[in-house]
Structure 1
Amino acid sequence: MAQVSKSVLRRFNSIVERGNLATPSCTRYPPLFARHARLIHCSSRRSTDGVFRDLTAQRVRTPWIEALRKQQAESKTSEAAPEKPSVPKDRDLSPKRMDDSYHSVVLPLARDPWLLDTYLNSSGHIRLGTIFMDLDALSGVIAYKHTGEDVTTVTASCDRIVIKHPLTEICDLELSGRVTYATGRSSMEISMQVAKAPKEGEQIKNEDVLIQCTFTMVSLDTNTRKPVNVNPLIAETPEEKRLYNLGERNSKIRKQLKERALIKHTPNDLESDLIHAFWQKQLQYHDPYDELRKPDNVHFMDTTRLQTATIMQPQNRNRHHFMIFGGFLLKQTFELAFTTAAAFAHARPTFVSLDPSTFQNPVPVGSILYLTATVVYTDPPLIGAPGEKVDPDSQYTRVQVRVDSKVRDVEHGRSKPTGQFNYTFNVEKNIRVVPRTYQEYMMYLDARRRAEQIKETVQEEGIGLTPAVAEQSITE
């Protein structure tokens, strides 16, 4: 190819600097433009962390460099005086309808292979952790449609994510949800679902619903970070009243679990008997005069533990720029829990549910996030409670993995807990976990309580899959 003269290059560069690439002067040098196309850079707005672009657009509105420079400028001029409330005193808190906050997004996974590329794992399964990120982003969109832009809304807890029907083919997915419970105080419950996107003019069928979930969001004053009231909710139709009553029940369950927590109270009589039975079983394993030895399918809890440490980068920030997006934490904890269950069972786990999990403290951008995952309960258990039927030869085992997160700032080394996440998987393996320290006994009993509560909820609502059916899903 002929060499380009310096005068032509100078002329071309001046066009680039003036931003006149669309002018006729640019079209007079087509060979030059084709050869030097790399000199032109135009950054389009793209998602920063794998969340679907229609949801990211609602969250990340300012480039990180601009937000950082603004914060640095404000820190130089700000005084030590306490922050004043930012929420207007005359803010409209009139009741709202459920449909006022309804929002839906369609992921065109079947139509867009490059979008699908960001949702698939190495075996061609849809990564549930990425779907969880989208759900958390959607819950934020829904919350702000209910509260308005005057407040800061954060994820307080993920009350449940459960697989309702398996997804057996790659298809477009519709994510939708709305606020279904709000009394007028600072918190609200948001119910969402992921379903096979219906054809135009059709409604979503019950058998096409892949995931159902509920999140609890809390609204705070942007400056003081104190809770602020939100609009109460009006339930009009029978279905809306059912959802509202369900949210009220979930709220009561959360309060009951908090009041009965093992951090506040000693184990009850039945649980104390279980602890004693486990202790006796371990004595038998080590007694030289007893023929009983620990079976190969029984593992001590401390041997199941996996840990990670990650620096929190601004690409995973929330809409307020300096804290990490809750969906990113869900994705990270899910994938670590999946890995822990797989390492424990030496089998591919099938996701069952995310059981009630809490976000305790925010995770700042630039901090170090520590995650610790432990297998804390298996069902059937090694030792059942009195009167409980346990199948020692069960083909499948339900494995509950607890992921504890804490954050440490780099400069001072101070650390604090940021959340606890409880994932349940099915594995095609007969395998059991056994605690052997007092702390592990408490983790085991806490997980057992959660498993019992989930069983009751599943029976009431008629949801849940058999392990064999769940294995047919192309999600993972």
Structure 2
Amino acid sequence: MPRPRSVTELRCARYPSRTTSRVRQFHCSTQRCTDGVFRELTAQRVRTPWIEALRKQQAEGKSSEVNSDKPAISKERKLSPKRMDDSYHSVVLPLAQDPWLLDTYLNSSGHIRLGTIFMDLDALSGVIAYKHTGEDVTTVTASCDRIVINHPLTEICDLELSGRVTYATGRSSMEISMQVAKAPKNGEQIKNEDILINCTFTMVSLDPTTRKPVNVNPLIAETPEEKRLYNLGERNSKIRRQLKERALIRHTPNDLESDLIHAFWQKQLQYHDPYDELRKPDNVHFMDTTRLQTATIMQPQNRNRHHFMIFGGFLLKQTFELAFTTAAAFAHARPTFVSLDPSTFQNPVPVGSILYLTATVVYTDPPLIGAPGEKYDPDSKYTRVQVRVDSKVRDVEHGRSKPTGQFNYTFNVEKNIRVVPRTYQEYMMYLDARRRAEQVKETLQEEGIGLTPSVAEQSVTE
């Protein structure tokens, strides 16, 4: 008669791979997700584990403002002109081929989250910038000049993200033009109708030690297409300077804008006049009632390649999703993205700080009150809603706050709805948004791009 086996022997017989020495065997499954940035671009952004970067900083006793991995820039370094193709870079997102990758890009409706695409574009702009400048400088995102939907994406497909430096005079800044398009088949070229997004980012190179701007290689434009792109970058640069010089923070509103403020004030008096039958319509909302706010602690998983600052693409994603939510709450309808208008990054956001975002509906088109001579349809089925997102950062102890950027998103909603300012600050926000809307409308007409609301609604993007 065989000897009865012990519990340990029975366990080993059932699980042969286990031993009685209590040694545990660990394994890790294939990574199936990203932080919203495609792995090929993430590898370019984060090269050192956070714990190693943190311990090195603590050992050296240096501030997180300084990138200790790089020496100061030599004043005698040579900056030879470069060609546009020298900085060209492209990457394909295999969304149609990889369901787990697609999983990180979809929302609850099965639409592609544009915020994650914006993250990828910012990461790509960094890769392109460093191909132009080299690795000895620190390059940061200064502004996103424009992101526009060219053609709707009607099906889930592989996407090709590509771009290059298209404007650089030799000073510290450079403009990078990028596009997102349906990935072409082998041997084929991208067709114009396959282009989903065109956009431009402005990047600035800094000395890694002093954090002051440093010059970069000037750009050579050789072909007619390269000259067109270079001239477009020059025009964008002039527009930025003009907007800065004409900003309402520096100058009072012009005569037409002053008339608009007065007309809004008169309209509000009518709403509250007991002897006037006019009352605020249900589709008219005061600006302060549209406001939404968030507060988020910045974690190292969203850092940039310099370890101690937050990746600019993460800020774009956060601001876009808050703007989308604000437009939806305002209209009680699903918004369709139109454009990210010229937006600025003012100060870096440190890892571990608290980021405060405030989103406000600042302009609607058609407006409640138009300027003299302005033509618009007050009964339009669709309304263009511009949402402004202001960001500021504080340390955990809640010391002094710093503004970190202003982001301006425009959406279409299938609703007849209007926003009305009622304080002087809100009037200035309204007029600033109106100027942006006019500038973007003019630019889109010049370039022959932009979608009608009914066509935009067919897209599988958020």
| Short-chain TM bin | over 0.9
* Counterpart-to-counterpart distance in 1, 2:9 and 2:126: 55
* Contact 1:58–1:141 (8 Å) recurs in 2: yes
Match of 1:331 in 2: 317
Please tell me whether the aligned partners of residues 34 and 101 of structure 2 are also in contact (alpha carbons under 8 angstroms): no
Q: Where does residue 253 of structure 2 map in the other structure?
A: 267
Rate the CA distance shift 1:230–1:287 in 2: closer, same or farther, 3 A.
same
Deviation beyond 6 Å, 4+ runs, structure 1: 6-9, 43-47
Question: What displacement does 1:390 show?
Answer: 2.1
1:225 and 1:202, CA in 2 relative to 1: closer, same or farther beyond 3 A? same
Superposed, 1:38-437 pairs within 5 Å as 39-41=25-27, 49-75=35-61, 86-437=72-423
SS of equivalent to 2:436: helix
Superposed CA offset, 1:264-308 (max 9, x none): 000000000000000000000000111111000000000000000
Equivalent-residue separation in structure 2 for 1:195 and 1:133 (angstroms): 16
Q: Using the TM superposition, give the Cα deviation of residue 89 of structure 1 relative to its aligned residue in structure 2, in angstroms.
A: 3.4
Residue 217 of structure 1 aligns to a residue whose secondary structure is strand
Inter-partner Cα distance in structure 1 for 2:441 and 2:387: 17
One-letter amino acid matched to 2:113: R
Letter of the 2:358 counterpart: T
SS in 2 for 1:105: strand
> Relative to 1, partners in 2 of residues 1:323 and 1:5: Cα closer, same or farther, differing over 3 Å?
farther
The answer to whether the Cα contact below 8 Å between 1:48 and 1:316 also exists between their aligned partners in 2 is: no
User: Cα–Cα, structure 1 residues 139 and 4, in superposed 2: closer, same or farther, change >3 Å?
Assistant: farther
SS in 2 for 1:328: helix
Tell me: CA distance 1:362–1:76, structure 2 relative to 1, closer, same or farther (3 Å).
closer
Contact 2:168–2:174 under 8 Å retained in 1: yes
What SS does structure 2 have at the residue aligned with 1:407? strand
**Separation in 2 of the partners of 1:97 and 1:3?**
73
CA distance in 1, matches of 2:350, 2:72: 21
In structure 1, what is the Cα distance between the partners aligned to 2:134 and 2:6? 61
Between the two proteins, the alignment pairs up a number of residues equal to: 452
1:464 is matched with which residue? 450
Are 2:33 and 2:101, in contact at CA under 8 Å, matched by a contact in 1?
no
Q: Shift of the alpha carbon at 1:38?
A: 7.0
Verify the 8 A CA contact 1:164 1:463 in the aligned structure 2: yes
Q: Deviations over 1:423-445 (max 9, x none)?
A: 00000000000000000000000
User: What per-residue deviation string (whole Å, max 9, x for no partner) do you get for residues 238-282 of structure 1?
Assistant: 000000000000000000000000000000000000000000000
Identity of aligned residues (%): 91
Aligned-CA RMSD value: 2.4
Amino acid at match of 1:151: V
Return closer, same or farther for 1:76/1:461 CA change in 2, 3 Å cut-off.
Answer: closer
Secondary structure at 2:396 match in 1: coil
Amino acid at match of 1:399: V
Shift of 1:87: 1.1
Deviation at 1:358, TM superposition (A): 0.2
Cα 1:207–1:5 change in 2 (3 A) is: same
Q: Deviation of residue 46 (structure 1)?
A: 8.4
How many angstroms does 1:30 deviate by? 5.5
Q: Determine the C-alpha separation between the residues in 1 that align with 2:363 and 2:415.
A: 14
The alpha-carbon distance between structure 1 residues 193 and 386, as it changes in their structure 2 partners (threshold 3 A), is same
Q: Which moved more, 1:259-268 or 1:88-97?
A: 88-97
Code of the residue aligned with 1:74 in structure 2: it is: E
> TM-score when scaled to structure 1?
0.91
**TM-score normalised by structure 2 residue count:** 0.94
User: SS in structure 2 opposite 1:340?
Assistant: helix
Provide the rounded CA distance (Å) in 2 between the counterparts of 1:37 and 1:437. 69
1:43 CA displacement: 8.5
User: Which residue identity is paired with 1:240?
Assistant: E
C-alpha deviation, 1:40, in angstroms: 1.2
Counterpart for residue 12 of structure 1: none
Is the 8 Å Cα contact of residues 173 and 196 (structure 1) preserved in structure 2?
yes
1:138 alignment partner AA: L
Aligned partners of 1:375 and 1:400 also within 8 Å: yes
CA distance in 2 between counterparts of 1:77 and 1:393 reads 57
Q: Return 5+ residue gaps in structure 2 as ranges.
A: 65-69
Superposed displacement of residue 341, structure 1: 0.1
Shift of 1:8: 8.3
